[in-house]
Amino acid sequence: MQHDKVLILDFGSQYTQLIARRVRELNIYSEIHPFNNPPKHINDYKAVILSGSPMSVRSKDAFHPDLSEIRGKKPMLAVCYGAQYLAHFSGGEVAESNTREYGRANLSFVKEDSFLKGISIGSQVWMSHSDTIKALPENGTLLASTKDVKNAAYKIEGETTYAIQFHPEVYHSTDGKKLLENFLINISGVKPDWTPNTFVGETVEGLKAKLGNDKVVLGLSGGVDSSVAAMLLHKAIGENLYCIFVNNGLLRKNEFTEVLEQYKGMGLNVKGVDASARFLDALSGESDPEKKRKAIGRVFIEVFDDEANQIQDVKWLAQGTIYPDVIESVSATGGPSATIKSHHNVGGLPDFMKLKIVEPLKALFKDEVRRVGASMDMEKELLGRHPFPGPGLAIRILGDITPEKVRILQEVDAVFINGLREAGLYDKVWQAGAILLPVNSVGVMGDERTYEKCVALRAVESTDGMTADWVNLPYEFLQKTSNDIINKVKGVNRVVYDISSKPPATIEWE
């Protein structure tokens, strides 16, 4: 089935991925390409969206896209920088704002137009710019204003070209999805037929044709991406998919056994390999975070290769690569790049093993991966599992790694995570975990003085991990969790809660 596609030209905006995801929410397939490296076949796309940018159109270094194959020939929506670009270089005027126009605003004028159908005065929009459009471009017609931004939306007469100063892709723009629907479906005629069910059907058929009777090896991590990739491949090639689930000794308490049984219950051809001792030996005495990561990656490759070599005639390596991994290093400011991010569970393997690569999820965002998994009736517990760092607890134990420290943190983490589940809070948190700090603190238990470990609890809410806010967990929950940890986990006498957001902090401590 041929799907209508939307092209998003990226000018380096922090919100570009959000545009693509909002379009996907309309069941429309969208792709992101740098403005300076657009796809060769523009005619393959039904409509085009120009993203925002940190750059000013008034700068001598302003980004100049080649719109000769787009403008006037295809429906086009210009967002923020795109709207200013059309104005500045087409007979209008863009000037520096007197004040930075950032944050929530409300539409104070809305012209009746199919582009703004269902959107009324008072609708909240999100502004993020330091320049402002003083005069519209040639043939420009004003469509909407806010109290401080007169030219908040306009269209070009004689073309299917629309421009907005605000960002419809962020959730602060309350009618942003409606505006995108108006432009893409009602005006541009894009068919909303990109659904999880059609993706599964088309992907499975494509994998059957691509792989035939070949054998494929996949390193499972217990996470959503590798699990959904495994199920798609399993539907396509069955027993010819060989899954390897490695226990590096740094997983959550009982996770290796429980997840392995879960995978077997899904019908996967999976082998569990307990290499805990091998990983802990490689980490012995090492406290530097990057060296810990490299040691874990090296040993994983060795273990995985040992196991893969036991499979006769394997030709393909499957990866759970998703779309943000593909576009993460493709920057409008840094130029085009075909580099795909290395993953913790397969880092270095393509060159190391000289296998062909198959990536069934590389067109999907994380939320789409979950929806695809749900359409295949995968367990909610697996699909809703919090992200977990590839190096596991090694980067949540600050300093060197010992079996005793791993035991302590596994116990603490289990109390915290199980407590979140029991309190009905687990699904309200994007990621949670515990960190074992490299300090001892004085405490009192009974009549005895103690000198034991301090642990930090961390819970954040996020959409994609790029930014994150700490979660305001109920005091009663934190009180009970702290008591349970100190009473049940030998070696811990103090619990603290991390209330840092990202940025400036990161989600993990190492």
> What are the residue numbers of the active site?
80, 167, 169
Q: For residue 154, give the DSSP letter.
A: E
Round to whole Å and give the CA distance between 193 and 203. 15
Residues 153 and 141: their CA atoms lie apart, in Å, by: 9
Rounded alpha-carbon distances, angstroms, from residue 321 to 52, 190, 345, 347 = 26, 27, 11, 11
Sequence-ordered strand ranges (E) for 13-86: 29-34, 47-50, 76-79
The answer to whether the beta carbons of residues 86 and 137 sit under 8 Å apart is: yes
What is the torsion angle, in degrees rounded to the nearest 10, for the CA atoms of residue 289, residue 290, residue 296 and residue 299? -140
Q: Are 83 and 128 in contact (CB under 8 A)?
A: no
Burial class (CB in 10 A: 0-12, 13-18, 19+), 397: buried
Nearest CA among 437, 446, 431, 417 for reference residue 494: 437
Task: With beta carbons less than 8 A apart as the criterion, state whether 110 and 120 touch.
Answer: yes
Q: Can you tell me whether residue 438 is helix, strand or coil?
A: strand
Please check whether residue 373 is in contact with residue 382, taking contact to mean a CB–CB distance below 8 angstroms: yes
Q: Say if residues 185 and 23 touch (Cβ distance below 8 Å).
A: no
Pairing of strands 140-146, 29-34: unpaired
Q: How far apart are CA 121 and CA 190, in angstroms?
A: 27
Q: What is the 3-state secondary structure (H, E, C) of 191-255?
A: CCCCCHHHHHHHHHHHHHHHHCCCEEEEEECCCHHHHHHHHHHHHHHHHHEEEEEEECCCCCCCH
Q: Is 35 helix (H, G, I), strand (E, B) or coil?
A: coil
Instruction: Say if strands 153-156 and 270-274 run parallel, antiparallel, or are unpaired.
Output: unpaired
Max CA-CA distance within the chain?
Answer: 85
Q: Are 139 and 157 in contact (CB under 8 A)?
A: yes
